[in-house]
């Protein structure tokens, strides 16, 4: 187990390095960023001065070395546009994104596992049909479009909820529902499929025949065994959730890390872009590792 953990962490570090290299290559391959920063028709001396102040006049290898060194010490540089250290900017936006994604995550998990369970237990019934249909539609709706539809109905027509901002709890409802609906779809499908498989198993029949209550059979005997694929998809959905914030935060003008990434990329603010991408990558890798370790805990048969 320990060996496995060490190997996984080593690979994760390698992957982060790969991403850093990829980012660095992209930054270098796409023209001279200095020209974007100085005013048009700036004299050559000024261009050189800016280049020197950013260390862009050194050799590529040297730049990559110092780039890695700064990454190691969590120094992400200074945002070119906001003129503040990236590591000072990120926390505010990260906290905002967490405030949005945590309720969405809780909502989807309860909603989708519940929906999938009912659909599996009442197989081919009305509830199953409705749940499957809702899941398919939720899966197919572009997240930017469903967000706009929600704004159209609840903010513009009915005027019940605000269309954006973070002013009160009401501002959370539409973005949370928008992300939640999108995420719930595949989780509900997986729960259903996975439950259907175990409901036919011998140990479920045994549990029933020895007179256990149906609730206990479903929750303790079936759901626990169906949990592995559900957790896998749940982990993958966390990733979807993070990626979804890019679009949802843009639609609802939410000051989170997703919208920040759009602004950083559009404004060609390279240090900020690098900071955001590295943040996303580390979270992704961490989540994947956590999901894999949860397997071992849930299924004693898995030994690393």
Partner 1 sequence: MGTLVRLLRTPKGAVGLILVASFIILGLLAPVISPTNPQKQNISLRNRPPLFHAADGRVYLLGTDELGRDLLTRTLFGVRLSLLIGFCAVACSGTIGVFLGVLSGFQGGVIDFVVMRAVDAQLSIPLILLAMMWIAFTKPSLPNVLAVIILAGWVQYARPIRAMTLTLRSSGFVEAAHAIGVPRWRIYLRHILPNVLPLAVVISTLQLAGAILMEGSLSFLGVGLQPPAAALGLMVNSGRRYIDTAWWICTFPGLALMLIVLGVYFMGDALRDTLDPKLRRLG
The residues that touch partner 1, with contacts defined as CB under 8 A, are 11, 14-16, 18-19, 22-23, 26-27, 29-30, 136-137, 139-145, 148-149, 151-152, 156, 186, 189-190, 193-194, 197, 229, 239, 242-243, 246-247, 250, 261-262, 265-266, 268, 273, 276-277, 280-281, 284-285, 288
Nearer to partner 1, 178 or 186 (CB): 186
10 Å CB burial of residue 297 (0-12, 13-18, 19+) is exposed
Q: Least distance from C-beta 55 to partner 1, angstroms?
A: 20
Contact 136, 211 (CB under 8 A): no
Q: Least distance from C-beta 76 to partner 1, angstroms?
A: 16
Nearer to partner 1, 111 or 155 (CB): 155
Q: Least distance from C-beta 247 to partner 1, angstroms?
A: 6
Nearer to partner 1, 19 or 184 (CB): 19
Distance CA 59, CA 63 (A): 6
Nearer to partner 1, 15 or 121 (CB): 15
User: Dihedrals φ, ψ of 78, to 5°?
Assistant: -110, 130
Q: Least distance from C-beta 46 to partner 1, angstroms?
A: 24
Nearer to partner 1, 74 or 129 (CB): 129
**Token couple for 67:** 């780039």
Cα separations in angstroms, 132 against 138, 161, 165, 188, 237: 10, 29, 33, 8, 18
Q: Least distance from C-beta 281 to partner 1, angstroms?
A: 5
Q: Least distance from C-beta 210 to partner 1, angstroms?
A: 29
**Token couple for 71:** 């990454």
Nearer to partner 1, 207 or 247 (CB): 247
Helix axes 257-266, 270-298, angle to 10 degrees: 140
Closest CA to 155 of 184, 179, 177: 177
């Amino acid at each position: 187990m320990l060996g496995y953990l060490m190997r996984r962490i080593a690979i994760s570090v390698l992957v982060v390095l790969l991403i850093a290299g990829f980012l660095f290559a992209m930054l270098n391959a796409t023209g001279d960023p200095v020209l974007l920063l100085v005013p048009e028709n700036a004299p050559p001396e000024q261009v050189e001065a800016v280049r020197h102040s950013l260390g862009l006049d050194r050799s590529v290898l040297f730049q990559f070395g110092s780039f890695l060194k700064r990454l190691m010490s969590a120094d992400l540089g200074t945002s070119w546009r906001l003129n503040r250290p990236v590591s000072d900017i990120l926390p505010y936006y990260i906290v905002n994104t967490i405030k949005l994604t945590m309720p969405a995550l809780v909502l989807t998990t309860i909603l989708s596992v519940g929906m999938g369970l009912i659909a599996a237990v009442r197989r081919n019934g009305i509830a199953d049909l409705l749940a499957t249909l809702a899941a398919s539609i939720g899966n197919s709706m572009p997240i930017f479009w469903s967000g706009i539809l929600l704004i159209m109905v609840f903010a513009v027509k009915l005027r019940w909820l605000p269309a954006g901002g973070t002013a009160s709890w009401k501002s959370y409802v539409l973005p949370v529902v928008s992300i939640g609906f999108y995420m719930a779809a595949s989780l509900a499908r997986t729960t259903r499929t996975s439950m259907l498989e175990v409901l036919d198993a011998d140990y479920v029949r045994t549990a029933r025949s020895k007179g256990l209550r149906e609730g206990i059979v479903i929750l303790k005997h079936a759901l626990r065994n169906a949990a592995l694929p559900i957790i896998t998809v749940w982990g993958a959905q966390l990733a979807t959730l993070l990626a979804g914030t890019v679009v949802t935060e843009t639609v609802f003008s939410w000051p989170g890390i997703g919208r920040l990434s759009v602004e950083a990329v559009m404004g060609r603010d390279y240090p900020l872009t690098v900071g955001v991408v590295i943040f996303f990558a580390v979270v992704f890798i961490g989540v994947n590792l956590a999901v894999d370790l949860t397997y071992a805990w849930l299924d004693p048969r898995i030994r690393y």
